[in-house]
Structure 1
Amino acid sequence: MKRAGYVALGVLLLIAVWQTVFVIGGYDASLFPPPGSVARGIAELVTDGTLAGHMRISLFRFAAGYVTASAAAVGLGLLLGQLPRVWKTIDPIVQVIRPVSPIAWSPFIVLWFGIGNTPAIVIIFLAAFFPVLLSTVSGMRKVDPIHVKLARNLEMKRSAFVTRIVLPSAFPTIANGLHIAIGTSWIFLVSGEMVGAQSGLGYLIVDSRNTLRLDLVMSGIVCIGLFGLLLDRLVGLFESWVGRHWGASGR
């Protein structure tokens, strides 16, 4: 309850600053929409079903890219974390590819996968994969070597070793990567939809800009921020659930 109160207070403060800048700056509402105009724009998008349609498509693309990237990165990271010599060979390659923006790959992605949902999903996958991979490998290094030797001496099964020793020790670090990946993949989802998609929140912003409806542009931006916050909170709930299930430290 206290957290919800702080969130509401932060939102009210942001709206107050926004309105103050609009009034003091003397901006035209068509160039810098005030909170009231944006609220009416959101109501318009909700009423005619436009927001629900674009949001549904964006969330599908995000879920497909983020979940597959997280699963692949955690699995590969758990494996590479146990093979330090292999990781030392692969790490320079990862460090070269990781800083490249997924949008830089968009010309090749469009050529290889065409236009539609797949290019956006691939961009999200690239944005989420590397933060989760690096955090998983880093988390593996925090597993107590004594626990590893004890598990080997007891001939513990691989599944029990992972769920009872590795994940409780490594999960807090992995969770940091999951949180970072939420932000980066959501950002690049919108960017990807601005490039070649014909639907989604990114397309909504571009289409509204082309029709000079900056109130709808700002409405799309507000919705992107709010849903990004919601997604981050959902990952926090997942982290807490895993913490209770495996004994890792939650939030």
Structure 2
Amino acid sequence: MVSLSLPLVGFALGLLLWEVLVRASGQSAHVLPGPLQVVTSMGELIADGTIFKHAVASLFRVTAGFYLAILFGIPLGILLGRLKSAWHVLNPVIQFLRPISPLAWIPLAMLWFGIGDKPAIFLIFLSSFFPLVVSTTVAVGAINPVYFQVAANFNLTRLEVITKIVVPAIVPSVVTALRITVMIAWVVVVAAEMIAVQSGLGYLILDSRNALRLDYVMVGMIVIGMIGLILDWAMRRLGRIEFARWNAGQG
């Protein structure tokens, strides 16, 4: 009960501070809308389905790009962690590309994929791919070598080593990386939608700003925060399952 009430107190204090700032600033509601006006505007966007349409569009892009990053990033991380030759060849390239902001790829993404979902999905993929590769590589490298010696004594195949030793051992680290990465992806998709697409929460914010509907802008921001909380909660729940608590130091 306490764990639920404390966050509610925090949100209530935030709303109170927001209202105080609005009243103290003396700005008009068009410049600085108050909580009540934003809640009313949120009701309007919920009633006509606008907020759901844009939220679903954003979630689709994040899901597509995120799963592509998982599909390619985790296997590559396992490869780099197990094969030193592959690590020496590919790691410099990864470390060169990794610091480049996904948003810096927007001009190229638009040139390659045009306007629509594809450039946004590509940016989500980039923002998620490199952290997953690096985290997986580090997790594989941290596995106790004794496990591999035992596997050799039992003549396990490479596939069996991966499925019975490597994958279970790296799950806790990978789940942590997923929790961090999905939030990065969520931030990037909103920024990408302000430039490369005509739907999504990022587009809603930009379009509302152009129409001088700052109340709608704040609605979009609130929905982004709410979905971010849900995504983080889902990842924390994933980290609590028994399988995800398995680590290389346990039998």
- Scaled by the length of structure 1, what TM-score is found? 0.91
Residue of structure 2 equivalent to 1:71: 71
Partner residue in 1 for 2:246:
248
Give runs of aligned pairs for residues 30-45 of structure 1, distance below 5 A. 30-45=30-45
What's the offset of the Cα at 1:16?
2.5
Q: Which residue of 2 aligns with 1:21?
A: 21
Contact 1:77 1:134 in 2 (8 A): yes
**Percent of residue pairs identical:** 38
Displacement of 1:89 after TM fit? 3.0
The ranges of structure 1 where at least 4 consecutive aligned residues each deviate by more than 6 angstroms after the TM superposition are: none
1:65-144 alignment to 2 at 5 Å? 65-144=65-144
Letter of the structure 2 residue corresponding to residue 122 of structure 1 = F
Q: Which shows bigger deviation, 94-103 or 127-136?
A: 94-103
Ranges in structure 2 where 5+ consecutive residues have no aligned partner: none
Task: Tell me the amino acid that sits aligned with residue 133 of structure 2.
Answer: L
Alignment check: 8 A CA contact 2:208 2:217 kept: yes
After TM superposition, give the deviation of residue 68 of structure 1 in Å.
1.2
Residue pair 1:134, 1:177 contacting (<8 A) in 2 also: no
Task: Specify whether residues 24 and 139 from structure 1 end up closer, same or farther in structure 2 by C-alpha distance, changes over 3 A only.
Answer: same
In the superposition, relative to structure 1, how do residues 168 and 28 fare at CA in structure 2: closer, same or farther (>3 Å)?
same
Q: Is the 8 A contact 1:103 1:188 kept in 2?
A: yes
Corresponding position of 1:55: 55
Q: Tell me, which stretches of 5 or more residues in structure 1 are unaligned?
A: none
**2:230 paired with 1:230:** yes
Using a 3 Å threshold, how does the CA distance of structure 1 residues 127 and 246 change in structure 2: closer, same or farther? closer
CA distance in 2, matches of 1:231, 1:149: 39
Count the aligned residue pairs: 247
Cα distance in 2 for partners of 1:70, 1:192 equals 20
CA RMSD of aligned residues (A): 1.8
Counterpart position of 2:145: 145
1:163-217 Cα offsets, whole Å, 9 max, x none, are 4322333222222221221111111101110002111101100110111000000
Match of residue 200 from structure 1:
200
Write the letter of the residue equivalent to 2:5.
G
Offset, 1:97: 0.8
The alpha-carbon deviation at position 82 of structure 1 amounts to: 0.2
> What do the CA deviations read for 1:41-86 (whole angstroms, capped 9, x no partner)?
1111101110011111111111000111122111110111101232
1:109/1:226 CA distance change after superposition, 3 Å: same
One-letter amino acid matched to 1:245 = F
Letter in structure 2 aligned against 1:54: H
- Aligned residue in 2 for 1:173: 173
Distance of aligned partners of 1:247 and 1:205 in 2 relative to their CA distance in 1, 3 Å threshold? closer
Checking the alignment, whether the CA contact within 8 Å between 1:167 and 1:246 is kept in structure 2 is no
The residue type paired with residue 154 of structure 1 is: F
Distance in 2 of aligned mates of 1:237 and 1:86: 34
Helix, strand or coil at the partner of 2:125: helix
Indicate the SS of the match to 1:195.
coil
